[in-house]
A and B are shown apart, each in its own frame.
Chain A
Amino acid sequence: MRITTPGQARANYYDRNPTPVRQGYSVIVGPAGTTQRLAYTVPANRKAWVNHLHHRFHRITVAAPVGQTQLDVTDETSTVPMAQLFRVTNVIGDTDQVDLAPNTILLATQGIQMRSTSTDTGGTADYTGGWSITEYDA
């Protein structure tokens, strides 16, 4: 005879002390080296679901000469960026954007970052980025 004890039902992740994390940034800048614009790290004993993110480039004033602008999103679950946007444009008002619903789970102490890089000479651009994350008990 086999005697088993059914496991206790566990609440869904969204019922385990969930915390919404909404972070964003927006800057109008000239050329700059690689800069970490936004960072989030999961605390101990928690996990996080990355629901949605966006990263946007918008040319404000022309560069002379123009270089490449790179906006990316990286996380610690992969050596490959989660999202990457390369742009070589010198037209005022030109815009490019990456919108993503990565549905990635980050484990305790793992992080996610948004970075920007520009090799322009002069000129300015507007970078905007943000994400929606749900943090919950592991």
Chain B
Amino acid sequence: MAKSILVRVKLLGSGTGGDAYRVNLPTYAHIHGDVTDGYAIVSIPLDILGLSDDDLKGETPHQTTEGPLYMILSDDNLKKAQDHLDSAYPDKGHALELVSG
């Protein structure tokens, strides 16, 4: 798998057995969840989003102790990521729902 980045995305679920706190992405590691404000920071391999290092050159991440955190992405990268999620994981309804805060 490619290198991973951090993204801040919408937190789903109620924290119960049948409705776990989670995010709407196919492959990730949960880093931090804020139930009050409804977001989670997750680590996700770039190839899961269909993005490359070149795609991120114009983006400005927050530097964190866990690595670069992308709270905002350009419309082009968001569209590219969504198109990739739709084709690589058809009928799953995954989405990169960024929460910029």
A33 to B18, CA, bound (A): 11
The tally of residues in A whose CB lies under 8 Å from a CB in B reads 24
Contacting pair A23 B91 (CB below 8 A): no
- B85 to A: closest C-beta gap in Å: 10
Q: Size range of the interface on B? A: 20 to 34
Contact of A35 among B15, B28, B89, B92 (CB under 8 A): B15
* 29 A-B pairs (CB sep. < 8 Å): A19-B1, A20-B1, A23-B27, A25-B29, A25-B30, A32-B15, A32-B21, A33-B15, A33-B16, A33-B35, A34-B13, A34-B20, A35-B15, A35-B20, A35-B21, A35-B30, A38-B29, A38-B30, A39-B25, A39-B26, A39-B27, A39-B28, A40-B26, A41-B26, A41-B92, A43-B89, A44-B87, A44-B88, A117-B17
